[in-house]
């Protein structure tokens, strides 16, 4: 989820075109479709994929199962890491729309105008920052309907930095595909991105485990413990990042939501980070 609060590309026509090209190159994997990777000349394709990450060999440095009756503000803030309550969608981020209910973090989207925007929604971003690690969350996304844009992503903690950005997933409107993306700058300072898609009509029916294993030489994406995509090219970065969970609503390229789609919820059962 590239940002418009800081100088970044945002959801412009070029990004939509790139996603369309990616979808045309999709590859079938049983009932799930994984997008083919955009090639990078100096990228070495792995001979085989890794299995699930064995977290018993790692140290858990951050964890929240949301067992308290309210959001832990020592762990989370209800705005974006760069101290904003607006982003590149048509919804105002309200503190009231990120709350704990029945041991679950709920990000609620409402058909309620606020602060000049058409909708109201919720976000949770980590108070703590991290340098590499295995990031995992159990999430039930809202229905894949027009206008909805849920995302789980990692962004630089320093406000003046934009890249790298790791989108563990984004879902765009009625498209039932998890889009997995790495945004970075190349040696010429040009923005680049590498993507894959994993498609399944059932993603919004239940909780799924979304994760990324980020080390100094590669980034590997997992869904429900199975590797879906990796980047091990020349531009893996290890800057300090923050975790962001948000339920975006309303953007030109995902249409406007239907009134009867509200209220809607993005639900998070747990979030963990290991190193």
pLDDT digit string, tens, across residues 52-61 = 899 998 999 9
Task: For residue 4, tell me if it sits in a domain.
Answer: no
- The count of domains in the chain is 1
Q: 149-168 burial string, b = 16+ CB within 10 Å, else e?
A: bbbbbbbbbeeebbbbbbbb
Given pLDDT bands bounded at 50, 70 and 90, which one contains residue 49?
low
Task: For residue 156, tell me if it sits in a domain.
Answer: yes
Least confident of 42-51, 106-115, 231-240, 248-257: 42-51
Single out the residue of 147, 207, 211, 210 nearest to residue 175, CA to CA: 147
Residue 128 burial by CB count (10 A; 0-12/13-18/19+): exposed, middle or buried?
A: middle
Task: For residue 79, tell me if it sits in a domain.
Answer: yes
Task: For residue 87, tell me if it sits in a domain.
Answer: yes
Task: For residue 6, tell me if it sits in a domain.
Answer: no
Task: For residue 7, tell me if it sits in a domain.
Answer: no
CATH code at 184? Answer: 2.60.120.200
Single out the residue of 44, 39, 105, 43 nearest to residue 72, CA to CA: 105
Domain coverage including residue 263: 13-37+56-274
Mean pLDDT taken over the chain: 87
Residue 7 DSSP code: S
Q: Phi first, then psi: give them for residue 35, nearest 5 degrees.
A: -70, 145
Task: For residue 211, tell me if it sits in a domain.
Answer: yes
Q: What percent of the chain has pLDDT over 70?
A: 82
Task: For residue 43, tell me if it sits in a domain.
Answer: no
Q: Is the pLDDT of residue 95 over 60?
A: yes
Single out the residue of 87, 81, 69, 188 nearest to residue 128, CA to CA: 81
Question: Residue 125 contacts by C-beta under 8 Å, 6 or more apart in sequence?
Answer: 76, 77, 79, 80, 81, 242, 243, 244, 245, 246
Q: Is the pLDDT of residue 8 over 60?
A: no
Q: Is the pLDDT of residue 159 over 80?
A: yes
- Residue 47: CB atoms within 10 A of its CB come to 5
Report how far residue 272's alpha carbon sits from residue 65's, in angstroms, rounded to the nearest whole number.
9
Single out the residue of 71, 88, 72 nearest to residue 80, CA to CA: 88
The pLDDT, as a whole number, for residue 1 is 73
Single out the residue of 155, 168, 106, 139 nearest to residue 270, CA to CA: 139
Report how far residue 34's alpha carbon sits from residue 45's, in angstroms, rounded to the nearest whole number.
16
Average pLDDT over every residue of 189-210: 97
């Amino acid at each position: 989820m590239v940002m418009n609060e800081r100088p970044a590309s945002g959801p412009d026509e070029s990004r939509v075109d790139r996603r369309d090209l990616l979808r045309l190159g999709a590859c079938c994997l049983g009932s799930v479709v994984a997008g083919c990777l955009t090639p990078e000349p100096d990228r070495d394709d792995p001979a085989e994929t890794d299995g699930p990450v064995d977290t018993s060999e790692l140290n858990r440095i951050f964890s929240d199962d949301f067992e308290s009756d309210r959001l832990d503000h020592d762990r989370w803030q209800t705005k974006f890491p760069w101290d904003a309550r607006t982003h590149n969608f048509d919804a105002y981020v309200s503190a009231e729309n990120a709350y704990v209910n029945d041991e679950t973090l709920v990000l609620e989207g409402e058909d309620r105008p606020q602060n000049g925007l058409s909708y109201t929604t919720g976000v949770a971003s980590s108070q703590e920052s991290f340098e590499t690690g295995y990031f995992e969350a159990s999430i039930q996304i809202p229905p894949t309907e027009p206008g909805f844009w849920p995302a789980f992503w990692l962004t630089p903690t320093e406000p003046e930095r934009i890249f790298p950005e790791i989108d563990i997933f984004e879902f765009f409107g009625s498209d039932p595909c998890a889009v997995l993306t790495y945004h970075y700058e190349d040696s010429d300072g040009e923005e680049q991105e590498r993507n894959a898609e994993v498609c399944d009509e059932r993603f919004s029916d239940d909780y799924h485990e979304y994760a990324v294993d980020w080390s100094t030489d590669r980034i590997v994406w997992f869904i429900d413990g199975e590797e879906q995509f990796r980047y091990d090219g020349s531009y893996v970065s290890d800057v300090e990042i923050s975790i962001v969970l948000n339920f975006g609503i309303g953007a030109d390229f995902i249409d406007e939501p239907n009134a009867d789609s509200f209220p809607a919820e993005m639900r998070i059962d747990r979030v963990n980070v290991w190193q």
